[in-house]
Structure 1
Amino acid sequence: MSDSVPVTVWITRTVKPGCEAGFERAMHEFAQRSLAQPGQLGVHITRPAPGAASRDYRIMRKFASRAALAAYHASREYLAWNEAVRGLTEGDPRVEELSGLESWFTPEGAPLRPLPQWKMALVTFLGVYPLTSLLPPFFGRLFAPLHPLLINIVTTGLVVALLTWIVMPLLTRFFRRWLHS
């Protein structure tokens, strides 16, 4: 993966009962300070719904590159934040890196917030359908003497590459207002 590709991570922390106010205060202060670090593209916090049984806070952070993520994890601010909330949370944070389809729908500069899945599915369909309808017959004729499995590997690789670097970035830009409305 190229170092200049944006990286998005979800951090889930389970707050101890009765420690919610202290965690919220510490989280807000840290979020404000950490955004001043180089390579920060945004932060979005999802709190448990009032009255919900869950005490999980989900923090989505977006970084300009893998190097910015590494610098963030090594920063004094991040290490101090982890130490400060250790007594307010249960266990270690759970971290997930978004690297699949979900990362297509978070263009640089857009607010980091969950999008309706039906909208993501529709835009993905608009990107996948033309490619999977046009490319297999074209490559089937072009590489007719080759084994069908090899043709399928080349076609699938091209579909994935086109979706990742051309089609989905264009579609998310084109549908940005609708996706984020």
Structure 2
Amino acid sequence: MSAATKAMDQGGYHCAITVKVKEGKVAELDEALVQFIRRSLNFPGTTGVHLIRPVPGSGDHEYGILRSFQSEEHSRKFYASELFQQYKAETEHLVEGEAVTRPLHGLEAFFRGGNNPPPRWKMAIVTWLAVFPVVVLWSRLAGPYLTMLHPLVVTGVVVSLVVITLAWLVMPWLTNLLSPWLNKN
């Protein structure tokens, strides 16, 4: 396993799911989701679930579900499991179409290690601790080789290197390292 893959696995795997509910079926789906979430928390590799309900009286019929797993492999096993297939069969008459699932890869995923997200000031400190040295590093390493390019191109190249380094190495490693502090009440 590469260092980048290890770093990503240490930060876990997170996905956002949206489910559109059929008219008049919100209460029934809500109950089914709550029951399913309770059962699913014991599935191997599951590290958390957050349910985002539609605002009462808004006319919105869309639920949001944030699921966290130890790794992408745990996520794949969960969605292929009999438990999940049974939930889908039990609720297909309550939803419109298929649920939309998208992995969370950005900064929003890095701070999802505990039961509650850490305070914003802690997230800001960790982000600064990650961004500052990486910007300095890539500016110093790549900058001298890019002097013949337009300053906007140089900035674009450096920012691209910074984002790649943050997303695949530094943020997963740093949030894992600092998770006891981040998740401390």
TM-score range, shorter chain: 0.7 to 0.9
Higher-RCO chain (CA-CA 8 Å, sequence separation at least 6): 2
Q: 1:61 to 1:114 in 2, by over 3 A?
A: farther
Distance 2:111 2:44 in 1: 23
Pick one of 61, 64, 67 that aligns with 1:61: 67
2:93 maps to: 87
1:124 maps to: 127
Superposed structure 1 runs of 4+ greater than 4 Å apart: 112-116, 118-123, 151-156
How big is the shift at 1:131? 3.4
1:37 maps to: 43
Instruction: After TM superposition, list the pairs within 5 Å mapping 1:11-22 onto structure 2.
Output: 11-22=17-28
How big is the shift at 1:130? 4.6
How big is the shift at 1:39? 0.5
Distance 2:27 2:118 in 1: 24
**Mapped pair 1:176 → 2:179:** no
SS of 1:52's equivalent? coil
Q: Which amino acid aligns with 1:170?
A: L
CA contact (8 A) 1:135 1:155 kept: no
Query: Percent identity over the alignment?
Result: 30
When normalised by structure 1's length, the TM-score is 0.74
Pick one of 139, 146, 153 that aligns with 2:141: 139
How big is the shift at 1:157? 2.9
Q: 1:166 to 1:12 in 2, by over 3 A?
A: same
> What value does the CA root-mean-square deviation take over the aligned residues?
3.5
User: More displaced, 98-107 or 120-129?
Assistant: 120-129
Q: 1:80 to 1:136 in 2, by over 3 A?
A: closer
2:103 maps to: 97
CA contact (8 A) 1:139 1:155 kept: no
How big is the shift at 1:46? 0.4
SS of 1:38's equivalent? coil
Distance 2:96 2:118 in 1: 25
Structure 2, unaligned stretches of length 5 or more?
none
2:33 maps to: 27
1:165 maps to: 169
How big is the shift at 1:161? 2.0
2:80 maps to: 74
How big is the shift at 1:63? 0.8
Q: How many residues align?
A: 172
How big is the shift at 1:79? 0.6
